[in-house]
Amino acid sequence: MNDILNINYYKETLDNGLDVILYDDKSIPLTAVNLWYKVGSANEKPGKTGFAHLFEHMMFQGSENVSKEMHFRYIQEAGGSLNGSTSFDRTNYYETLPSNFLELALWLESDRMGLLLPALTQEKLTNQKEVVMNERRQRYENQPYGMAWELLFSNLFNDKHPYHWPTIGWMKDIENFQLEDVRNFFKTYYLPNNTSLIIGGDFEHEQALDLVKKYFGDFKSNSDIPKINFEQEQLDEVIRIDHEDDVQLPRLYLAWHSDKLYGKDDAVLDVLSEILSGSKNTRLYRTLVYEKQIAQDVSCFQYSANLQGMFIIIATAKPGVELHTIREEIFSEIEKIVEANIEDREIQKARNSVKSSYIYSLQNLSTLVDHMNNYNCNLNEPNSFIFDLNRYEQIKKIHIINSIEKYLDKPFVELHIIPKKK
Amino acid sequence: MITDRSKAPLPKEEIDFHLPRIEKFKLPNGLKILFVEKNNLPIIHFNLVLNAGSKFDPDGKNGLAQLTSMLLDEGTKTKNALDIDDEFESLGTVFNIAIDHDSIYLSMLSLMENLDNSLSLFAEILTEPAFNDSDFEREHRKLSTQILQLKDQPSYIADSIFESVIFNGTPYSFPVMGTDITTKNLVNKDVIEYYNSKFVPDDACLVVVGNISTELLTEKLKDAFKSWSGNNSPNSQLLKPGEEHAKIYIFDKPGSPQSEIRIGNLCEPRDEKFYYSKKVVNTILGGQFSSRINLNLREDKGYTYGAHSSFYYNKLHGYFTVATAVETKNTVPAVKEILKELSAIHEGIRDDEIAFAKSYLIRKYPAMFDSYSKIASNLTTLHVYDLPPQYFENFIQNIEATEINELIAAAKNNIKTDKLSIVLIGDKTSLLENLSEEIEAEIIEVDHYGNSIH
């Protein structure tokens, strides 16, 4: 079964530093183009947050040879689908098109990488500022429990830490976006040597490589990309926050600092989250939802990012149940893992579901190349599915116990989202 | 050499795309099978469609089909919910139950190496549910808590009110989940009766996409479902929705930073004759990013993160909706812009818009068949709407064949600008300030389920 997770690819770094990866699969006449720019909200400065995400909007607003609205239109007219996303650490852009339109995609991607600024106007910025503010209202402010994430992160990380602010940015910073700052941010980070490009699917190898060189080859690199300065954050004591929201039921959030992406304990914490709440027959789900029925739901995950990770547990109270009851149960279950034994079955189950999820993810070309780009940007090796799975194969009970002691026995952020008093 | 970037590159020669071959057969118990053999990965996808959706909920017991679907995998004669879940997890198999007004769907994605174990567990869940009282109590309580929680969700409230208004007087007007009142008195006996009468093979369909031959699949399915039998009782005639009138329905959410907006009406049901014209019209009007409505509301005015329109279909009806969320102060201007766009599409459509829409729909067609899951979802559509066997082969030429006069007629017949229901979820006081002067229609304040509260 590991054979199919062993992905063949070709990789070349152009003279200007652009990583180019080709992955050949002629089973369907589609081609996926996927770019990771190594810039995310962690590259922003306090008072000027939200820039990385703003580009996920501005990059679709046209460039020197592509007028406003035409980026979308060209790809849609070709029958393609497209999007982008922003995290703490990177911004990605991707499209999947019928394979005869590969050159169109490379033309569009290169025009906005190299020639966005000549077409950037105050009018476009003002319009997309409004759109982003509405995105913030729709996805956070007008969503039940929508403010939880920024409350967690801004308390878990101090105001100088690059993970302190939300990826979309603070509303007041979005309102104050200035054209000059936007230009400078682009010039600093949107560079070939800060980018990894993958073409996957149905294409001719030599032709694709020539096209990439034709369209991306003349952009200049710049070695002055600022490094992110930060100090590993630790909490001295538990931080407790109560926040009233327009919700029916109280919800508890517990968040600890944990290991970073692909760190030594990252996969161990993943398995711990599976053992706690990955399915029905898990420690927290069984106790809180199935047996005692004091929670409507419980979930838990290792949120690993490039600089640091976070381990997060979330549970919603059943009507009439107090959050401290749920909190006590959660801690008692974690204690039981340390005191009593973990069964092999629990670890094996977690491994199996990770492995099958990787195999299932291969059926979608766009998902597959995005995964490969993640591996290339973080591990410098696009073919890392097997390496990744091996991290899980090596996990023993003792690693899980050690990780609980190392991370979860430390101070944490405890957030209570509670219904507004009527 | 400097690259000439001034013009968009043209495509290479047209691609060669072949639709997957669909096999159709029946098992001895009457279960219909739609199958596509696909061999590039060692996986298999199942989707069982049962003719048992929430429109069959008995009067006053709305939510019963939902609760039955929740209880189905909570225990069999020999396994409890935890055992079942454990077994799927250990196999690396993904199992899921979903429901809408028409159907209940049991889907499963399995590795081929675990097919036998996965299929046998799937069949056990389907044919030997335990329906223990203790499981009923737990899931019943879970359902009523879910209904409570959905009252937090502005987009859900908007959809529920819109559907309750346009489907007034029919089972489609109730949320699939039911309401606090209709779910309150459900008992385990209701669930067992519903299961016995509706979970039968003779009007169900099993969709399969996987790395297996027809012969071997048939053999395995015959074995897995050999104990499943029964016929669906004929359904009573479903009621027709009442007459629509242009009205504005407001659900008050004091202090809300945004308003959720739904505007639309009932339209012709899904049938082959008008489906393609509606599809092209909607692509131009609000069906994708570069549509009139999104470009106006988002890219020009900056009122919203996104606005779209759609023709939706259930087995009996069609309906048209525009949906968006906008900042509270821009709600009335946004509604006016939407109404303007709906009238404008009656008046005319440009040739370049038609060319763009056709190119978009035709060229993206191959991507609709790129994964096991997407092929399965297409086969499901084929069954649910009872589409002709040549539907997929003819799709492209049917889109191609639509003409301007048909598009305008489709817009006029299906977007009824004089009978639109407008649903607004937001801060009532702020909405009412300028609504009545700006838009001519009766304003009604409603509860979560679209009932007038005055």
Q: Is the pLDDT of residue A1 over 90?
A: no
Rounded to an integer, the average pLDDT of A199-218 is: 97
* Distance of alpha carbon B101 from alpha carbon B92, whole angstroms: 30
β-partners of residue A251 are A316, A417
pLDDT single digits (tens) B113-162? 999 999 999 999 999 999 999 999 999 999 999 999 999 999 999 999 99
pLDDT single digits (tens) A87-118? 999 999 999 999 999 999 999 999 999 999 99
Cβ–Cβ gap A137/B258 under 8 Å: yes
Residue B258 DSSP label: E
Q: Is the pLDDT of residue B235 over 90?
A: no
Rounded to an integer, the average pLDDT of B341-360 is: 98
**Statement to judge: residues B291 and B440 lie in one domain:** yes
Please report the beta strands in A14-125, taking only residues with DSSP state E, as ranges in sequence order.
Answer: 19-24, 30-37, 81-86, 91-98
ipTM: 0.94
Question: Closest residue of B to A74, CA-based?
Answer: B8
Q: Is residue B438 part of a domain?
A: yes
Rounded to an integer, the average pLDDT of B353-358 is: 98
**Statement to judge: residues B44 and B118 lie in one domain:** yes
How high is the pLDDT of residue B236?
62
The DSSP annotation for B300-314 comes to IT--EEEEEEEEEE-
Per CB-CB distance under 8 Å, the chain B contacts of A30 are 366-367, 370
Residue A414 near residue A238, CB atoms below 8 Å: yes
- B100-120 burial, b for 16+ CB within 10 Å, e for fewer? ebbbbbbbbbbbbebbeebbe
Q: Is residue B377 part of a domain?
A: yes
Residue A335 near residue A262, CB atoms below 8 Å: no
Q: Is the pLDDT of residue A2 over 80?
A: no
**Helix, strand, coil share of chain B (percent; to 5):** 45, 20, 35
Backbone angles phi, psi at B350, to 5 degrees: -80, 155
Domains of chain A are 7-216 (3.30.830.10), 239-419 (3.30.830.10)
Of B166, B192, B224, the residue that ends a domain is: B224
How high is the pLDDT of residue A3?
86
Q: Which of B1, B359, B370 to mutate to test the interface with A (most CBs of A within 10 A)?
A: B370
**Statement to judge: residues B256 and B321 lie in one domain:** yes
Q: Is residue B203 part of a domain?
A: yes
Q: Which of A79, A80, A249 sits opposite B362 (nearest CB)?
A: A79
Question: Closest residue of B to A422, CA-based?
Answer: B254
Q: Is residue B272 part of a domain?
A: yes
Q: HSE (CB half, 13 Å, CA atoms) of A27?
A: 16
Q: Which of A30, A103, A246 sits opposite B370 (nearest CB)?
A: A30
**Statement to judge: residues B59 and B143 lie in one domain:** yes
- Whose CA is closest to A374, among A3, A19, A4? A19
The number of beta carbons lying within 10 Å of the beta carbon of residue B33 is: 18
Residue A37 near residue A195, CB atoms below 8 Å: yes
Rounded to an integer, the average pLDDT of B14-40 is: 95
pLDDT single digits (tens) B91-100? 999 999 999 9
Sign of CA dihedral A88, A89, A91, A92: negative
Residue B424 near residue B261, CB atoms below 8 Å: yes
The stretches of A303-364 forming alpha helices (DSSP H) are 323-339, 344-361
Rounded to an integer, the average pLDDT of A247-267 is: 97
How high is the pLDDT of residue B1?
63
Q: Which of B37, B83, B85 to mutate to test the interface with A (most CBs of A within 10 A)?
A: B85
Question: Closest residue of A to B354, CA-based?
Answer: A77
* Distance of alpha carbon A186 from alpha carbon A113, whole angstroms: 9
Q: Which of residues 254-273 of B touch A (CB under 8 A)?
A: 255-258
**Statement to judge: residues B85 and B212 lie in one domain:** yes
- Whose CA is closest to B17, among B379, B370, B401? B370
**Statement to judge: residues B216 and B259 lie in one domain:** no
**Statement to judge: residues B149 and B273 lie in one domain:** no
**Statement to judge: residues B282 and B195 lie in one domain:** no
Backbone angles phi, psi at A163, to 5 degrees: -100, 10
Q: Is the pLDDT of residue B234 over 70?
A: no
pLDDT single digits (tens) B245-276? 899 999 999 999 999 999 999 999 998 889 99
How high is the pLDDT of residue B273?
87
How high is the pLDDT of residue B250?
97
Output the CA–CA distances (angstroms, integers) from residue B304 to A175, B147, B296, B400, in the order listed.
Answer: 15, 28, 10, 33
Q: Which of B289, B356, B365 to mutate to test the interface with A (most CBs of A within 10 A)?
A: B289
Residue B332 near residue B435, CB atoms below 8 Å: yes
Q: Is the pLDDT of residue B232 over 90?
A: no
* Distance of alpha carbon A54 from alpha carbon A49, whole angstroms: 10
Per CB-CB distance under 8 Å, the chain A contacts of B71 are none
Find the helix or strand (DSSP H, E) in which B399 lies.
helix B391-400
CA distance A263 to chain B (A): 25
**Statement to judge: residues B165 and B262 lie in one domain:** no
CA distance A281 to chain B (A): 5
Q: Is residue B231 part of a domain?
A: no
Q: What is the CATH number of the domain that holds B412?
A: 3.30.830.10
pLDDT single digits (tens) B238-249? 678 988 889 999
**Statement to judge: residues B132 and B258 lie in one domain:** no
pLDDT single digits (tens) A27-67? 889 999 999 999 999 999 999 999 999 999 999 999 999 99
**Statement to judge: residues B220 and B271 lie in one domain:** no
Of B160, B191, B224, the residue that ends a domain is: B224
Residue B163 near residue B172, CB atoms below 8 Å: yes
Q: Is the pLDDT of residue A147 over 70?
A: yes
- Give how far the C-alpha of residue A417 lies from the chain's centroid of Cα atoms, to the nearest Å: 24
Q: Is residue B1 part of a domain?
A: no
The total of structural domains in chain B comes to 2
How high is the pLDDT of residue A258?
97
The DSSP annotation for A228-243 comes to PP------SS-EEEEE
Tokens 């770094």: give the residue: A13
* Distance of alpha carbon B418 from alpha carbon B415, whole angstroms: 9
Per CB-CB distance under 8 Å, the chain A contacts of B113 are 1
CA angle A148, A152, A154 (to 5 degrees): 120
pLDDT single digits (tens) A286-307? 999 999 999 999 999 999 999 9
How high is the pLDDT of residue B237?
66
The number of beta carbons lying within 10 Å of the beta carbon of residue B10 is: 9
With an 8 Å Cβ cutoff, is A98 touching chain B? yes
**Statement to judge: residues B139 and B220 lie in one domain:** yes
Query: Domain of B151?
Result: 23-224
Residue B100 DSSP label: -
How high is the pLDDT of residue B231?
85
Cβ–Cβ gap A352/B91 under 8 Å: yes
Cβ burial of B158 (10 Å; 0-12, 13-18, 19+) is: buried
Q: Is residue B236 part of a domain?
A: no
Q: Is residue B400 part of a domain?
A: yes
